[in-house]
Amino acid sequence: MNNALFVNIFRFILLLAVQIIIFNNMNFLGYISPYPYILFIILYPVNGNKSGLLVASFFLGLIMDMFSNSGGIHTTACVILAYYRPYLFKFSFGLSYEYQTVKLNDEVTPERFSFILLSVLIHHFILFTLEAFKFSFILDILIRTILSTVFTIIICIIIIYLIKPNRR
Amino acid sequence: MQQIFNFIYKNSNRLLFLLLLGISLFLSIQSHSYHRSKIISSANFLSGGVYERINNVSEYLNLRTQNDALAQENAKLRSLLFNAKDTTATPKLDSIKGLKPDDIIVSKVIHNTFNTHENYITLNTGSLQGVKPDMGVINSLGIVGIIDNTSSNYSTVISILNVKSQINAKLKKSNHFGSLTWNGKSTGFVQLTDVPRLASIRKGDTIVTGGQSVIFPENINIGTIDKIEIDNQTHYYTIQVKLFNDMTNLGHVYIIKSKNREEIINLEKKEKKDE
């Protein structure tokens, strides 16, 4: 338990640092940035403390907002994603997900991929909607969401493969 | 009583979620109004400090372009100096306020965004150096933005690439003015709206800041006209302005401290009170 706590704190700080130093400066086509910091929420232990995840994602988003001058848009997107994570688990892994030992940071199977895709899509859609805050930008929101989602997922999968524990 | 506690215990997760969601939504909605909260901005010591460290390293990567820009500005100033109409004439002293109405603070961009609809720039000078909200920020090529928040050592700037920004601008040759906004699309272009149809404009004309604003002095370069559209509903021109500045590559900037500003604002306030 203690070990898991330390791993999560370490991941929290490391992902935020990498996001702020490297990924915030990546501008594909001028306006598309990947947001792989939400891997913290995706990789949080399945049976871990749910209120802990909510509070942690709140602060994760708050720090991101502080660094990107964006009010509370990252915070909102992160908190919503953290709250709906169990439902996404249910959707991707079936009803009995809690009794299986679902380990996300392992090889990418279709179930895991669908879970990551849905999480990233939801997060980005909320993020860009709140950022534009106008219905006249709806096309722009959708384009940004889709392109950024693709970009984020590619980087997430690369990171997952990089930090994959070598047990076998 | 027991039941209330039970209810709270059972739904603790949902209640916590609603609380956090409420706070974050409040912060997001508030950030879309013009004046924002001071807590969640990159002008604080944590993010300002981190950005300054990062900038110390990344600054080296574009030293060459910054040097070129400085050399060009020097050349321009020298040509002004050498080509003055009458080199013996001394500038007229304004005996009450000193030589110039504007003071300038040199500052450095330590963080710059341009990929969202509401872009902000972080500078490494703050209220200790005399920076206050609503001061204008320019660089050698043209305008950059308006100061939004300040902390003791850092400040944030609403970039002209921000859908919230609105700046008074005019045509250099004819004094017809309009307001300069951004439609959130390209980083190289801004839009000048509400220019009356009477104005004779042509592609390539220069747009400069207007004298109506108390933030910027008159006649600071903004850009050239790229495309002219006529709004069918209002019958005003909407002009695409190509910026002189490359907003994606900013180095040193100048913050303009207008001495007349407070006097003008006070006067206008009085006028409104009297009505």
Measured over the CA atoms of residue B130, residue B134, residue B135 and residue B139, the dihedral's sign is: positive
Distance between CA A57 and CA A83 in Å, rounded?
10
Helix or strand or coil: residue A162? helix
Tell me which residue range forms the domain holding A38: 2-163
CB B129 within 8 A of CB B148: no
Query: Can you tell me the distance from the alpha carbon of B147 to that of B122, in angstroms, rounded to the nearest whole number?
Result: 9
SS3 label, residue B64: helix
Give the residue with greater pLDDT, A12 vs A2.
Answer: A12
DSSP E strands, B113-199: 118-123, 136-138, 143-150, 155-162, 167-171, 177-181, 189-196
Distance of CA B101 to the CA centre of its chain: 20
Tokens describing residue A29: 């086509």
> pLDDT for B32-83, tens place per residue?
765 555 556 666 777 788 888 888 888 787 788 888 888 888 888 888 777 7
Query: Which positions 196-215 of B are in contact with A (Cβ < 8 Å)?
Result: none
Q: Inter-chain contact A79–B31, Cβ cutoff 8 Å?
A: no
Residue in A54, A55, A75 nearest the CB of B27: A75
Rg (CA), chain B: 23
Q: Tell me what pLDDT residue B229 has.
A: 84
Can you give the length of chain B in residues?
275
Rounded to whole angstroms, how far apart are CA atoms A50 and A98?
A: 13
User: In this predicted model, what pLDDT tens digit does every residue of A60-111 receive, in sequence order?
Assistant: 998 888 888 787 889 999 999 999 988 888 888 777 666 555 566 566 678 7
Whether residue A168 is contained in a domain is answered as no
Q: What is the DSSP letter of B259?
A: S
Structural domain includes residue A69: yes
Chain B residues with CB under 8 Å of A80 CB are: 21
Burial class (CB in 10 A: 0-12, 13-18, 19+), B255: buried
pLDDT at B275: 62
Asked whether residue A153 is domain-assigned, the answer is yes
- For residue A68, being part of any structural domain is answered with yes
b/e map of A19-57 (b: 16 or more CB within 10 Å)?
A: bbeebbeeeeeebbbbbbbbbbbbbbbbeeebeebbebb
How far, in Å, CA of B218 to CA of B136, rounded?
Answer: 12
- On whether the CB atoms of residues B240 and B223 are closer than 8 A, the answer is no
Q: Is the ipTM here above 0.95?
A: no
Interchain pair B115, A75: CB under 8 A: no
Partner-chain contact B41 A131, CB within 8 Å: no
**Residue B111 confidence (pLDDT):** 85
Most A-contacting residue of B11, B117, B163, B246 (CB-CB within 10 A), to test interface: B117
B248: chain A residues, CB-CB within 8 Å: 30
- pLDDT for A168: 46
- Tokens 């910027």 belong to residue: B216
Write out pLDDT tens, residues A108-146. 678 788 888 999 999 999 888 888 777 777 888 888 888
Whole-angstrom Cα distance, residue A65 to residue A126? Answer: 14
Looking at the structure of chain A, the number of domains it has is 1
Number of neighbouring beta carbons within 10 Å of residue B93: 9
Tens-level pLDDT at each residue, chain B (275 residues): 788 888 887 788 888 888 888 888 888 777 776 555 555 666 677 778 888 888 888 878 778 888 888 888 888 888 877 776 665 655 555 555 444 556 788 888 888 888 778 888 889 888 888 888 888 888 888 889 988 888 888 888 888 888 888 888 888 888 888 888 888 778 888 888 888 887 788 888 888 888 777 788 888 888 898 888 887 777 788 888 898 888 888 888 888 887 777 777 788 888 777 66
Q: Say what the pLDDT of residue A78 is.
A: 92
The pLDDT score that the predictor gives to residue A81 is: 92
As a whole number of angstroms, the distance between CA B162 and CA A60 comes to 25
